[in-house]
Amino acid sequence: MRVDLQALLRGYRAEGEVCEVAGFGPVAVSAVREMVETGDPFLAAVATVGKAVTGVAHLGRRPTAHQTTALQWLYPTCAVKGCSATSFLEFDHRENWSETHFTLFDLLDRLCTHHHDLKSTKGWMLVQGTGKREFVSPDDPRHPRYEVAA
């Protein structure tokens, strides 16, 4: 499958976006999501922005060995700015895996147990971007949910 990342996250294609199955042609984003939800390990999804590959989606919940290695290099400490925790780091999906059913490197971070718990139970989130960044409460105007609504 090849699908533009924003279409996959949004749930439908906008003008000029791609969502297709190799050898079959264009399909609805909902069809791709249904295939992803089967959990079939033989399926592969390539996420793109235009013609640029932004990542290869793994259809399992845990990052692949390659993704894990890259995340350990990118985040030797918790991704939260000011946190120097190096142990008990957890993989975090920026988009809830229970909703997407894919693991895309570009949508993963490593958080210490404390920050991961705050995200999971209190709605705190890292601001948009990569690398070390601010970790904000749900009422902070920099919270990613406000960017989606804008």
Q: What is the pTM of this model?
A: 0.66
Q: Considering 18, 41, 57, which residue would you say is the last residue of a domain? A: 57
76 and 105 fall within a common domain: yes
Rg of the chain in Å (alpha carbons): 16
78 and 36 fall within a common domain: no
For the chain, what is the domain count?
Answer: 2
88 and 48 fall within a common domain: no
Residues of the domain holding 36 = 2-57
What pLDDT, on the 0 to 100 scale, is given for residue 124? Answer: 97
41 and 94 fall within a common domain: no
| Number of Cβ atoms within 10 Å of the Cβ of 141 | 7
Tens of pLDDT along 8-54?
889 999 999 989 887 788 999 999 888 878 877 667 777 777 776 66
**How far is it, in rounded angstroms, from Cα 73 to Cα 65?**
12
52 and 89 fall within a common domain: no
35 and 52 fall within a common domain: yes
Q: Say how far residue 131 (Cα) sits from the centre of its chain.
A: 14
30 and 84 fall within a common domain: no
Tens of pLDDT along 42-56?
677 777 777 766 666
